[in-house]
Amino acid sequence: MGKPVILAVDDDASVLEAVIQDLRRQYGSGYRILRAGSGQAALDICAQLKERGDVVALFLSDQRMPGMQGVEFLERAQGVYPDAKRALLTAYADTEAAIRAINTARIHYYLTKPWDPPEEQLYPVLDDLLEDWRVDYKPPFEGLRVVGPRWSLRDYQVRDFLSRNQIPYVWLDPEKDDAAVQLLQQYKVDDRHLPAVLFPDGAALVQPTITELAGRVGLRTQAQKDFYDLAIIGAGPAGLAAAVYGASEGLKTLVIEPEAPGGQAGSSSRIENYLGFPSGLSGADLARRAYVQASRFGAEFLTQRATSICVDNQYRLVRLADDRDVSCYACVIATGVNYRRLAAPGVERLTGAGVYYGAALVEARSCAGEQVYIVGGANSAGQAAMYFSRYAEKVTMLVRSGSLESSMSKYLIDQIAGTSNIVVETWAEVKEAIGENRLEAIRIGTQQGEELRPATGLFIFIGAAPQTDWLPEGIMRDANGFILAGRDFRVEGQLPRIWKEEREPFLLETSTPGVFVAGDVRHGSVKRAASAVGEGSIAVQFVHQYLARF
């Protein structure tokens, strides 16, 4: 198979030639640039490419063409190459039709003619589309293989870690796939000690810890330097925003994250109300873009868990799980929140074996033809319901309140109402999870009484629980564990004795000077990705003011 194809379509020969020249100049080294003078000619080319086994990465089509308009061509081309990105070239007068086509033809972007200069008007858009395509494209696989039973917590944790860090792998269940058994024999792995991660070079990791796995797949587990201007703990939207702004403004920046960039938002299957993305984007896409952006500015990412923070004169020391210390001038805590644990019999025992906290997107395809339940009524639960509805036979949302209106965005409520295999049950809660080695049924409490229902997947999205027990007493928190900052840690209007500075604390500064907080873990924060991004960027401005004192 040759290079992936970019196919440009326009009935105006001079415009088409200009498009081809611009595409070849920027993308000719990595892609085959092909042209077609009409929608039908382009479909004929698609059929030929498909027959030869070639791959199309991007369609770029003009809208106004005789015989077949661009939107119609892109709709029909989607049936041939559903994974290709689709962009529409329009005149200014056609922008309304182009915007409608985002929903009807599921085009990914529209560009207004003329696109000069292409460095500003064309290439940034196509770069993003092609990068998204490369992330989703699955060439003949030659990478990692994970062998483990589906109903195993450790197997799930390995797959979830690799997926959230966007490391390609193939999962094989030895209980269902003979190829998995053969691979275990080839790699000389005992099938009693699973999961196993098998590498192309013949090496294998058996029941690996997350740190072992991170190091083996190329993630950094030890800091490159002993000292940084800024250490950011947590790589959710707030931490990633702080990393982008800190590194881009010249601060030596370290991001400490034990799992994967994106945090809780990173597991969202679709975010459709994030500014600047009219077609929506997944949490993983948002995390990937931010990670690449921060890395390009020089931010360093470390796959480690922070276990404490202490003060040494003007320095802040962050202790890591491997007992190493990282020294910095200032620190931003952006650890976000986790979902609250569901206190019902059987839930804890079956976690990872049919019961999951959060979207658990790695399980979605495995739920094909099954009945799954989602607990919660906020946006994250609604996004998960829409995603799982693509695979599961039936998705049932269990909501403790009487409706979704008070906790979920209107656009999601409308989407759920229009999806035939999603059912919303209000005044309902899980009383028990039942099963021996995996989830087999759940007991549900409703206004009519308790019911026992078969279930293979239970996905929990309830509440927000900050993980702040590891912080020292010098960083004040509210009764629920959320971190107090600025005026919030005043006691009866007065700064507490623990605050030793003569100055007032900065807005996002904790009760330990030089330690800031941003995002969902902060007391009083708005639990939205966009607000977390805003707080992360603002925190860096206060870091600069703090550092200016030295």
For the domain that residue 163 is a member of, what is the CATH number? 3.40.30.10
Q: Are residues 28 and 120 in the same domain?
A: yes
Q: Could you say which of 216, 238, 267 is where a domain stops?
A: 216
Q: Are residues 369 and 322 in the same domain?
A: no
The token duo for 367 is 């739920």
**CB contact at 8 A, 235 and 243:** yes
What three-state secondary structure class fits 375? Answer: strand
Which strand (E) or helix (H) includes residue 386?
helix 379-388
Count the domains in the chain.
4
How far is residue 472's CA from residue 480's CA, in Å, rounded to a whole number?
16
Largest CA distance in the chain: 78
Q: Are residues 448 and 478 in the same domain?
A: no
Within-domain flag for 292:
yes
Within-domain flag for 346:
no
The residue among 465, 420, 430 whose CA lies nearest residue 450 is: 430
**CB contact at 8 A, 169 and 144:** yes
Within-domain flag for 249:
yes
Q: Are residues 381 and 448 in the same domain?
A: yes
User: Domain with 91 in it: what CATH number?
Assistant: 3.40.50.2300
The token duo for 160 is 């979830």
Within-domain flag for 192:
yes
Within-domain flag for 347:
no
Distances (CA, A) of 244 to 179, 205, 240, 251, 531: 44, 34, 6, 10, 15
CA angle 11, 13, 16 (to 5 degrees): 80
- The predicted pLDDT at position 504 comes to 92
* Helical packing angle, 283-296 and 123-136, nearest 10°: 120
Q: Are residues 298 and 445 in the same domain?
A: no
Pairing of strands 429-434, 441-446: antiparallel
Domain interval for residue 196: 144-216
What three-state secondary structure class fits 257? Answer: strand
* Helical packing angle, 70-80 and 95-104, nearest 10°: 20
Q: Could you say which of 393, 428, 460 is where a domain stops?
A: 460
Q: Which residues make Cβ contacts (< 8 Å) with residue 548, sequence separation at least 6?
A: none
Radius of gyration of the chain (CA): 26
The residue among 215, 185, 220, 217 whose CA lies nearest residue 201 is: 217
Q: Could you say which of 403, 426, 460 is where a domain stops?
A: 460
**Is-cis flag, bond preceding 66, omega within 30?**
no
Terminal CA-to-CA distance of the chain, rounded, Å? Answer: 59
**Is-cis flag, bond preceding 114, omega within 30?**
yes
Pairing of strands 325-333, 515-517: parallel
Q: Are residues 204 and 233 in the same domain?
A: no
**CB contact at 8 A, 262 and 284:** yes
Q: Are residues 49 and 117 in the same domain?
A: yes
- Tokens 């196993």 -> residue: 196
Query: DSSP per residue over 396-465, as a string?
Result: EEEESSS-STTTS-HHHHHHHHT-TTEEEEES-EEEEEE-SSS--EEEEEETTEEEEEE-SEEEE----E
- The predicted pLDDT at position 354 comes to 92
Within-domain flag for 157:
yes
Q: Are residues 301 and 235 in the same domain?
A: yes
Q: Are residues 200 and 239 in the same domain?
A: no
The residue among 261, 6, 296 whose CA lies nearest residue 127 is: 6
Query: DSSP per residue over 7-57, as a string?
Result: EEE-S-HHHHHHHHHHHHHHHTTTSEEEEESSHHHHHHHHHHHHHHT--EE
- Tokens 């440009």 -> residue: 8
Which strand (E) or helix (H) includes residue 312?
strand 306-312
How far is residue 105's CA from residue 88's CA, in Å, rounded to a whole number?
10
H-type helices in 137-252, by residue range?
153-164, 178-186, 210-216, 237-248
CA angle 296, 359, 100 (to 5 degrees): 75
- The predicted pLDDT at position 1 comes to 52
Within-domain flag for 222:
no
| pLDDT, averaged in runs of 10, over the chain (550 residues) | 88 93 94 95 94 91 89 91 91 69 76 85 92 81 85 91 89 88 91 92 92 92 93 96 97 96 82 84 89 96 96 93 94 94 94 86 82 92 91 94 90 93 95 94 93 93 90 94 93 85 93 96 91 96 92
Burial 392-410 (b: 16+ CB within 10 A, else e): beebbbbbeeeebeeebbe
The token duo for 213 is 């796995």
**CB contact at 8 A, 41 and 16:** no
Torsions phi, psi of 72, nearest 5?
Answer: -65, -45
Q: Are residues 150 and 198 in the same domain?
A: yes
Q: Are residues 15 and 123 in the same domain?
A: yes
Q: Are residues 113 and 192 in the same domain?
A: no
- The predicted pLDDT at position 283 comes to 84
User: Domain with 394 in it: what CATH number?
Assistant: 3.50.50.60
The residue among 311, 315, 464 whose CA lies nearest residue 381 is: 464
Within-domain flag for 301:
yes
Q: What is the 3-class SS of 136-158, one letter each residue?
A: HCCCCCCCEEEECCCCCHHHHHH
